[in-house]
Structure 1
Amino acid sequence: MQKKQSVFQLLPILLGFFIMGFVDVVGIATNYVKKDFQLSDAVANLLPMAVFLWFLIFSIPIGMLMNKIGRKKTVLLSMLITVVALLIPMIAYSLPVVLIAFALLGIGNTIIQVSLNPLLTNIITGEKLTSTLTLGQFVKAIASFLGPVIAAFCANTFGNWQLLFIVFAVVTILSALWLWVTYIPKEEAVAVVSTFGESFALLGDKTIFLFFIGILTLVGIDVGLNITAPRLMMERAGMALEDAGYATSLYFIFRTAGAFLGAIILSKMSAKKFYIGSSAAAILAIALLMSANSQSLLYTGIALAGFACANMFSIIFSYALKKLPSKSNEVSALMIMGVSGGALFPFLMGVMTDAMGGIQIGAVGIILICCVCQLFLALSVKE
């Protein structure tokens, strides 16, 4: 009976991981907004900045809030903000409104990223925790690759890609209601609360600083490819946006597959060797995207990139936690702040693309630099 109860407690939390994946819709949404309002790449790429900047600002404060109101209430707060963010573009559709909506989406996603994993530990502990977290990331990836598919379906069938927001809003409301009525054991009160000063002081440690840069550049690769992949398909293969958007789904499909295969390989191979191989594969994939002009080669590069980047986040995160186990809360908050790379690098990519007359080679070059940073970190890390 206890096992059955834990399953019912787990399901609404897993659905929360699906909502966590909504943040990845910013990739395809940026391209639709760029088309709708005839924006330059630099201006269009303010959308990812509006989403991911909040990871830098709110990660630590959200951890402090969670200690005060509890994990479940914090997750529910994130879902409420997410619903508001998703419904705003349906009420009024203009560039300022979209920027506000995506800012709220970023705030909501920051909150759920900080609070959902700890909430899972309220019902899952010990050896089962790692496998359950992997399952959660798989559920998150489903939302990531479904976003472009649903957007394309809504655009082709109803002539309005924004109906994607309605679909995601309904799922979020149902998830919030399910979690609200589900009993989740409360966590013990936290005596020590992380502060900005305590977390930022860790950057003085050279290794922690490199891990932070690793997360920063990895998310830059992830978000950058989400935005750039459809543009490459349109630029190099002459595809319409509705069809080119599937390139983002392809990236996440192979990212998901890579995560499961990586879990098997990492049980038999050292994390450092696997990290080096993944980084080298990522560089190869981006180099292919810089030169490819055919649809098949572009798809190959995108798929390889997704496969190569699938396990880097978990490897970097685990290395960081093992470096300073006594400061795990501060290290975790700092690594989550690194997700703000999704704001920084897409903006730089947009500026570079505009400077090169709208050609995507500049954006891909920024992604390549981020991949080289990953290889440097993989070679320098000590096990």
Structure 2
Amino acid sequence: MSTQQKSMIWMLIPVMFSFFTMGFVDLVGIATNYVKADFHLSDTLANLLPSMVFFWFLIFSVPTGMLMNKIGQRKTVLLSIVVTVAALLLPLINYSFASMLISFSLLGIGNTLMQVSLNPLLSNIVTGNRLASSLTLGQFVKAIASFLAPIIAGWAAVSWGNWKLLFLIFLVIAVIACVLLGMTHIDESSSAETKSSTFGECFALLADKVVLISFLGIVCHVGIDVGLNLTAPKLLMERLDMTLAGAGLATSVYFLFRTIGCFSGAFLLAYFPMKKVFIVSVLMMVAAMIGLFTMQSLAAHYVCIALVGLGNSNIFSMLFSRALLHLPNRKNEVSGLMIMGLFGGTIFPLFMGIVSDWMQSQIGAVAIMSIGVLYLLSIIPAIRKD
């Protein structure tokens, strides 16, 4: 192994730790179900919690891209971890609906800073055609945290009578990530050459067809991701009369297969054309949505949830890298716009909650998620032209 390769590995370790910390945002799904039960909330009010997380992607994504031009990507990631630590600490100090709204808001702000800055930071270590594969590896590490969240919450609730111990465990890991990245030097010389941009110049990039299609695709990807995270337990409780503790396993099934999808995607995207992986991924989600509308057995639900996990696992990496490589000289601004698309995590749950309450059935939530899948299906021709 060469000195350069060893240096790359030492830089990748804290970056991957940061990707794991990025996955803490997905605790919002299982946490929302516990908060809903603790405070006896309606679907509409409960879904306000994940909306508070993802709302900040709309507000802070583009300003974060501009901030990176001034202080650098690594310092922006460090700032994001500090904000995440504050978000995880608050519920341990005071647990109320109001404090959870504030905690989830801080979690969203921290995750916005991290999502915008961490992906281009990785591009300083890994470049070219391997970027999509490396981003997928990062998403795999992130998915491990997402997968563990409901398991840890369930274990803490059953063993200790306090599901909020999840926040304490993740808090310790976040501090470790901050220390490791703080001790690591990553050359950002290419980023330093990027000139400062105005809001108008950033949003003007949406006039580019590739950037716009990728942006809307990420909106739908995150809407589906957060939507199924929230809805899967509710579907099982509604259709099969399961308890929350039992139905919460559905979230783990989703993240398990999303983790498997990210892991396999890191290799598939390194050896197969992105367009082929994209097409297969979307078709798996189409099949899953049809199944969630029609299937009734527990096994069938798990199969559909697994298909969404596999299908949705690499969509973000493919669309993000597509946009980043399309305009490499504007990667900070493009990153800000792409991460702003995570606002889909606010839009989808809000409409899912409203439609589900109106129909008095989680089938309404499935219908809203299906709209996102249909959009991804509709952009396949554009992806095939690449």
Q: Deviations over 1:51-80 (max 9, x none)?
A: 111111111211222222222221111111
Q: Any idea what the Cα deviations from partners look like across 1:75-114, whole Å, max 9, x if unmatched? A: 1111111111001011111111100100000000111111
Counterpart residue type for residue 145 of structure 2: A
Cα separation, 2, equivalents of 1:50 and 1:199: 24
Deviation at 1:336, TM superposition (A): 1.3
Q: 1:27 & 1:327 partners in 2: Cα distance?
A: 33
Alignment-mate amino acid for residue 102 of structure 1:
F
Where does structure 1 lack aligned partners over 5 or more consecutive residues? none
Aligned-partner residue type, residue 161 of structure 2 = G
Report the CA distance between 1:31 and its aligned residue. Answer: 0.8
Residue of structure 2 in register with 1:235 after alignment: 238
Match of 2:9? 7
Q: Equivalents in 2 of 1:69, 1:271: separation in Å?
A: 33
Which deviates further from its counterpart, 287-296 or 271-280?
271-280
Match of 2:40 in 1: 38
User: Does residue 328 of structure 2 align to residue 320 of structure 1?
Assistant: no
- Give a deviation string over 1:192-226, Cα, whole Å, max 9, x none: 12332112223334453333221111110011000
Aligned partner of 2:193: which letter?
V
Contact kept in structure 2, 1:41 and 1:354, CA below 8 Å = yes
Instruction: Please name the residue that 1:250 is paired with.
Output: 253
From 178, 181, 185, the counterpart of 1:179: 181
Query: Which residue matches 1:339?
Result: 342
Q: CA RMSD in A?
A: 2.2
Deviates more, 1:141-150 or 1:109-118: 109-118
* Counterpart among 69, 72, 75 of residue 73 in structure 1: 75
AA matched with 2:345: G
Match of 2:170 in 1: 168
Q: What is the match of residue 154 of structure 2?
A: 152
Q: Determine if the alignment matches structure 1 residue 140 to structure 2 residue 126.
A: no
Is 1:57 equivalent to 2:59 in the alignment? yes
Cα distance, 1:120 vs structure 2 = 3.0
1:174-213 pair list within 5 angstroms = 174-185=176-187, 187=189, 189-213=192-216
Q: Secondary structure at the match of 1:293?
A: coil
Residues 305-355 of structure 1, C-alpha deviation per residue, up to 9 Å, x if partnerless? 111112222222233345545544433321111111001111100001111
**Aligned-pair identity (%):** 55
Cα gap change, 1:125/1:203 in structure 2, threshold over 3 Å: closer, same or farther?
A: closer
CA distance in 2 between partners of 1:266 and 1:129 (Å):
9
- Between stretches 175-184 and 89-98, larger displacement belongs to 175-184
Distance 1:190-1:53 versus aligned 2 partners, 3 A rule: farther
Report Cα offsets for 1:16-56 as digits up to 9, x if no partner: 11000001111111111111111111111111111111111
> Structure 1 pair 31/323, CA: closer, same or farther in 2 (3 Å)?
same
- Which residue in the other structure is 1:275 paired with? 278
Query: In structure 1, what is the Cα distance between the partners aligned to 2:57 and 2:303?
Result: 31
Deviates more, 1:6-15 or 1:168-177: 6-15
Counterpart CA distance in 2 for 1:199 and 1:272 is 27
Structure-2 residue corresponding to 1:120: 122
Deviations 1:127-181 (A, max 9, x none): 7655543332221111010000000000010111111001101111122122223
| AA partner of residue 244 (structure 1) | A
Corresponding residue SS for 1:39: coil
Which position in structure 1 is the counterpart of 2:20? 18
Amino acid across the alignment from 1:137: Q
- Deviation string for 1:283-325 (max 9, x for gaps)? 1101111222211111011001111112222222233345545
Contact 1:276 1:379 in 2 (8 A): no
Aligned in 2, Cα 1:71/1:325: closer, same or farther, shift over 3 Å? closer
Say whether the 8 Å CA contact 2:233–2:251 is kept in structure 1: yes
The residue type equivalent to 1:243 in the other structure is: G
TM, length-normalised to structure 1? 0.92
Deviation at 1:256, TM superposition (A): 2.2
**Consecutive unaligned residues in structure 2, runs of 5 or more:** none
SS in 2 for 1:227: helix
Q: Hey, what's the Cα distance between the residues in 1 that align with 2:96 and 2:277? A: 45
The residue that corresponds to 2:263 in the other structure is: 260
Counterpart of 1:227, as a letter, is: L
Q: Distance in 1 between matches of 2:234 and 2:174?
A: 29
| Corresponding residue of 2:222 | 219
Distance across 2 between alignment mates of 1:273 and 1:127: 15
Q: Secondary structure at the match of 2:202?
A: helix
Measured in 2, the distance between the counterparts of 1:94 and 1:212 equals 35
Structure 2 length as normaliser, TM-score?
Answer: 0.92
Deviation at 1:14, TM superposition (A): 1.2
* Residue identity matched to 1:36: D
Q: Counterpart of 1:194 in 2: which secondary structure?
A: coil
Find the aligned partners of 1:23 and 1:228 in 2 and give their Cα distance: 16
